């Protein structure tokens, strides 16, 4: 079959465009995954919703809160999280997302005004989340989520006076 040079060029350009667009669409899907995670956390730490975002063998870890391996362990932890934090708003900021085929990694800054349930203490929390993702049946999921604290301080003292409480 004889093809027109303009058609081949157009097909090549379209293929190149699709190749450039795919990582952008994937990064947007990961941003939406992160937003769903925050929404479930801010919904009294909905354990089933949160667990549904993780692979069966995922890892969730946060210094001071523990390390949980596997979707069921993650779900079990979040069943009691609303007692630890009786109120929270998760702000995920400054995402740096790197997509490589069906895997990806990202770093996010977390800012979280919250209330500790133990003493009804209003707190400021901030940290850095490092995450890995995999695409499972066309859907991006958390494979690993690790949080490192930058500060955790009472609202009335602020982080300049007392960085960790």
Q: Using the 8-state DSSP alphabet, how is residue 164 labeled?
A: B
Contact 148, 130 (CB under 8 A): yes
- Taking the chain (165 residues) in runs of 10, the rounded mean pLDDT of each run is 64 88 95 98 98 98 96 98 97 97 98 95 97 98 97 88 70
Q: Which helix (H) or strand (E) holds 8?
A: helix 5-41
Comparing CA positions, the residue from 148, 136, 65 lying closest to residue 104 is 136
pLDDT at res. 165: 65
pLDDT at res. 136: 98
pLDDT at res. 158: 80
Token pair 């990806």 in the structure block, residue = 104
pLDDT at res. 13: 86
Look up the pTM and report it. 0.89
Write out the DSSP string of 129-144: EEEEEEEETTEEEEEE
Range of the domain at 134: 5-161
Q: What is the CATH number of the domain that holds 97?
A: 3.10.450.50
CA 43 to chain centre: 16
Domains held by the chain: number: 1
Nearest-angstrom CA–CA distance, 29 and 94: 16
């Amino acid at each position: 079959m004889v093809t027109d040079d303009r058609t081949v060029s157009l097909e090549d350009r379209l293929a190149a465009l699709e190749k450039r667009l795919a990582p952008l669409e994937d990064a947007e899907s990961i941003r939406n995954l992160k937003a769903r995670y925050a929404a479930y956390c801010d919904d009294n730490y909905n354990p089933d919703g949160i667990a549904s975002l993780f692979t069966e063998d995922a890892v969730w870890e946060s210094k001071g809160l523990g390390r949980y391996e596997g979707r069921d362990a993650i779900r079990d932890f979040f069943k009691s999280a609303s007692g630890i934090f009786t109120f929270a708003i998760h702000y995920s900021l400054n995402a740096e997302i790197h997509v490589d085929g069906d895997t990806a990694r990202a770093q996010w800054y977390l800012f979280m005004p919250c209330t500790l349930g133990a003493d009804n203490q209003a707190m400021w929390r901030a940290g850095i989340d490092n995450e890995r993702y995999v695409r499972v049946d066309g859907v991006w999921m958390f494979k690993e989520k690790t949080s490192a604290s930058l500060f955790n301080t009472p609202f009335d003292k602020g982080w300049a006076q007392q960085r960790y409480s």
